[in-house]
Chains A and B, each alone.
Chain A
Amino acid sequence: MLKIDNLHASIEGKEILKGLNLHVKPGEVHAIMGPNGSGKSTLASVLAGKEDYEVTDGSAILDGKDLLDLEPHERAGEGLFLAFQYPVEIPGVSNINFLKTAINNIREYRGEEPMAAKDFLKLVKDKQQLVELSGQLAKRSVNEGFSGGEKKRNEIFQMAMLDPKLAILDETDSGLDIDALRIVANGVNQLKSENNSFVVITHYQRLLDYIVPDVVHVLYKGQIVKSGPKELALELEEKGYDWLKETEAV
Chain B
Amino acid sequence: MGYTEADLAEELQSSEYKYGFVSNFETDRVEKGLSEDIIRLISSKKNEPEWLLEFRLEAYRNWLNMKEPEWAHVRYAKPDFQDITYYSAPKPKKKLNSLDELDPELKSMYDRLGISIDEQKRLAGVAVDVVIDSVSVQTTFKEKLAELGIIFMSFSEAVQEHPELVKKYMGSVVAPNDNFYAALNSAVFTDGSFCYIPKGVRCPMELSTYFRINEAGTGQFERTLIIADEGSYVSYLEGCTAPQRDENQLHAAVVEIFAHTDAEVKYSTVQNWYPGDKDGKGGIFNFVTKRGLCDGDRSKISWTQVETGSAVTWKYPSCVLKGDHSEGEFYSVAVTNNHQMADTGTKMVHLGRNTKSIIISKGISAGVSENSYRGLVQINKSAHQARNFSQCDSLLIGDKCGAHTFPYIEVKNKSAKVEHEATTSKIGEDQIFYCQQRGIDEETAISLIVNGYAKEVLNQLPMEFAVEAKKLLEITLEGSVG
Contacts and interface: CB of A to CB of B under 8 A. Distances in A.
A105 B434 contact: no
B433 A51 contact: yes
A102 B434 contact: no
Nearest to A72: B436
Given A51-B433, A88-B428, A88-B431, A76 B438 contact: yes
A77 interface: yes
A43 interface: no
Contact of B441 (A73, A84, A87, A90): A73
Interface in A59-106: 71-73, 75-77, 81-82, 84, 87-93, 97-99, 101-103, 105-106
A123 to B, nearest CB: 15
A84 B434 contact: yes
A101 B448 contact: yes
A99 B435 CA distance: 10
Given A88-B428, A105-B439, A72 B433 contact: yes
A158 B452 contact: no
A205 B221 CA distance: 73
Contacts of B438: 73, 76, 98-99, 102, 158, 162
B431 A90 contact: yes
A93 B448 contact: yes
B155 to A, nearest CB: 38
A192 B266 CA distance: 54
Interface in A22-60: 48-51
Contacts of A50: 433
A98 B445 CA distance: 9
Nearest to B458: A92
Contacts of B442: 71, 73
A125 to B, nearest CB: 20
B430 interface: yes
B437 interface: yes
A199 B436 CA distance: 20
A82 B453 CA distance: 25
Interface majority SS (helix, strand, loop, mixed), chain B: helix
A81 B454 CA distance: 29
B440 A92 contact: no
Most buried by B among A51, A71, A87, A93: A93
B442 to A, nearest CB: 7
B86 to A, nearest CB: 44
A72 B441 CA distance: 8
Contact of A73 (B431, B436, B449, B453): B436
Given A71-B441, A76-B439, A105-B441, A92 B455 contact: yes
A105 B449 contact: no
Contacts of A106: 439
B451 interface: yes
Interface in B170-189: none
A141 interface: yes
Interface in B422-480: 428-431, 433-442, 444, 448-449, 451-456
Given A92-B454, A93-B452, A105 B440 contact: yes
Contact of A90 (B437, B439, B449, B456): B449
A177 B183 CA distance: 67
A109 B437 contact: no
A92 B430 contact: no
Nearest to A143: B434
Given A88-B430, A105-B441, A49 B449 contact: no
Contacts, number: 79
Given A88-B430, A88-B431, A91-B453, A72 B437 contact: yes
Most buried by A among B433, B435, B437, B441: B437
B434 A162 contact: no
A48 to B, nearest CB: 5
A121 B442 CA distance: 25
Contacts of A101: 440, 444, 448
A89 B425 CA distance: 13
Contacts of A84: 434, 437
Interface string B81-93: 0000000000000
A109 B439 contact: yes
A108 to B, nearest CB: 9
B449 A102 contact: no
B450 to A, nearest CB: 9
A82 B439 CA distance: 11
A106 B455 CA distance: 25
Given A91-B453, A92-B455, A98 B439 contact: no
B451 A73 contact: no
Contact of A162 (B439, B444, B453, B456): B439
A91 B436 CA distance: 17
Contacts of A97: 448
A90 B452 contact: yes
Most buried by A among B440, B449, B454, B456: B440
Interface string A146-176: 0000000000001000100000000000000
Nearest to A92: B452
Nearest to A106: B439
A84 B436 CA distance: 13
Contacts of B451: 92-93
Contact of B436 (A76, A99, A158): A76
A141 B428 CA distance: 16
A114 B71 CA distance: 51
B429 A73 contact: no
Contacts of B453: 91-92
B437 A82 contact: yes
Given A88-B428, A93-B451, A102 B433 contact: no
Most buried by B among A50, A102, A103, A158: A102
Nearest to B442: A73
Closest 8 CB pairs of A and B: A92-B452, A93-B452, A76-B439, A106-B439, A72-B436, A92-B455, A102-B438, A88-B434
Interface of B: 428-431, 433-442, 444, 448-449, 451-456
25 contacts: A48-B437, A49-B436, A71-B436, A72-B436, A76-B436, A81-B437, A82-B437, A87-B434, A88-B430, A88-B434, A90-B434, A90-B435, A90-B448, A92-B452, A92-B453, A92-B456, A93-B451, A97-B448, A101-B444, A101-B448, A102-B435, A102-B438, A105-B439, A141-B452, A162-B438
Given A48-B437, A102-B439, 17 more contacts: A73-B441, A82-B437, A87-B434, A89-B431, A90-B434, A90-B448, A90-B449, A92-B452, A92-B454, A92-B456, A93-B449, A93-B452, A101-B448, A102-B438, A102-B440, A105-B439, A106-B439
